[in-house]
Amino acid sequence: MNGEELTEQETALYDRQIRVWGADAQRRLSKSHILVYGMKGTVAEFCKNIVLAGVGSVTLVDDREVTEEALSANFLILPDENLYHGKTLAEVCCDSLKEFNPMVHVSVEKGDISTFGVEFFGKFDAVVISCCSLAKKKLINQKCRKLSKRVAFYTVDCRGSCGEIFVDLKDYKYSKKKLEETVECQLEFPSFEDTISVPWKALPKRVSKLYFAMRVIEQFEDAEGRNPGETSIADLPGVLKLRKELCETNSVNESQIPDALLERLLMDTSEYPPVCAIIGGILGQEVIKAISGKGDPLKNFFFFDAMDGKGLLEDISEPKPVS
């Protein structure tokens, strides 16, 4: 959208949500550009949500081919092989997303996202990545942070019945309603690398066990040169060994990372559609809040485990010095 005002067509199409978050928020959404990498089931849910919400454009990056595993969780891939044969995951998902809202420009960018220059990420208001190695998460987050403009950065991972979202909004200003007045607020977000570098012993005692378990699996895959999700129960001895080393280094009891939880994360590497819907819904909500500048953002981790049905927010940051 080139103009400052919503068109008559946009106002009619987005009437219900304009009543929820106002015309100004919808204008910001309609001018926003979102970059998405890694077209898994959770990300498909997220894309559907933001396209229906009416963002300006969505650019998809994923050169992988369609697999049986992708078909099981990604509803954007139609089950007719003739419709996706010879196409990348991004191209197949792009075709489907265009049908949800013709007013949103959906396109595909080909190539290895880790080789894209800093200026490429400056074209977007939010960057969402999935299916990424530890090194790639750090690299892309660093590139977004080097920009003079604020680019909201998110990572999302879903393993079986568990999922996590990480958020980095840098220095973020927003407004929220408190009683009958609107209050201006400000939050400082640490980078992904700074966040996971916080010593475990410095964290509150009741931090989600999923936070620690996901970091162990992440580091195991990184050390073994594996792609995300390329694990099995056969890797349990190596993962338990790494858990022991990390817990000793961080002066944390190994009971904080139960064997049963690690086993689930190793075995359930594919996504569960109901969990995808929940994580993708939360992620869509957070990106909309960041773009519109309305409502308290998630800072800076969200965890969900379908085994107990709980969603937990965790602020993992360097403890502030006591004055």
Which domains occur in the chain, in start order? 8-190+271-311 (3.40.50.720), 194-267 (no CATH)
* pLDDT for residue 115 is more than 50: yes
pLDDT attached to residue 43: 97
B/e letters for 107-123, b = 16+ CB within 10 Å, e = fewer, are: ebbeeebeebeeeebee
The pLDDT score that the predictor gives to residue 69 is 80
pLDDT band at residue 1 under the 50/70/90 scheme:
very low
Q: Which residue has the higher pLDDT, 31 or 83?
A: 31
Phi, psi torsion values for 37, nearest 5 degrees? -125, 130
pLDDT band at 8 (very low <50, low <70, confident <90, very high): confident
Mean pLDDT of all residues in 169-188: 89
CA distance 249 to 266: 23
Tell me which of 177 and 323 has the higher pLDDT: 177
Q: For the chain, give the mean pLDDT.
A: 92
What angle is formed at CA 313 by the lines to CA 166 and CA 208, rounded to 5 degrees? Answer: 95
**Span 65-74, mean pLDDT?**
85
Q: What are phi and psi of 179, to 5 degrees?
A: 60, -120
Q: What is the pLDDT of residue 74?
A: 92
2: pLDDT strictly greater than 70: no
Query: Contact 28/4 with Cβ under 8 angstroms?
Result: no
Greater pLDDT, 84 or 100 = 100
Burial of 26 (0-12, 13-18, 19+ CB in 10 A): buried
Of 4-8, 154-158, 182-186, 207-211, least confident by mean pLDDT is 4-8
- Average of per-residue pLDDT across 220-249: 96
Burial 264-286 (b: 16+ CB within 10 A, else e): bbbebbbbbbebbbbbbebbbbb
Positive or negative CA dihedral for 226, 230, 236, 239?
positive
Asked if residue 85 has pLDDT above 70, the reply is yes
pLDDT at 320 over 80: no
Helix (H, G, I), strand (E, B) or coil at 185: strand
Please state the rounded mean pLDDT for residues 120-132: 97
Which pLDDT score, from 0 to 100, does residue 3 have? 46
Confidence of residue 217 (pLDDT cuts 50, 70, 90): very high
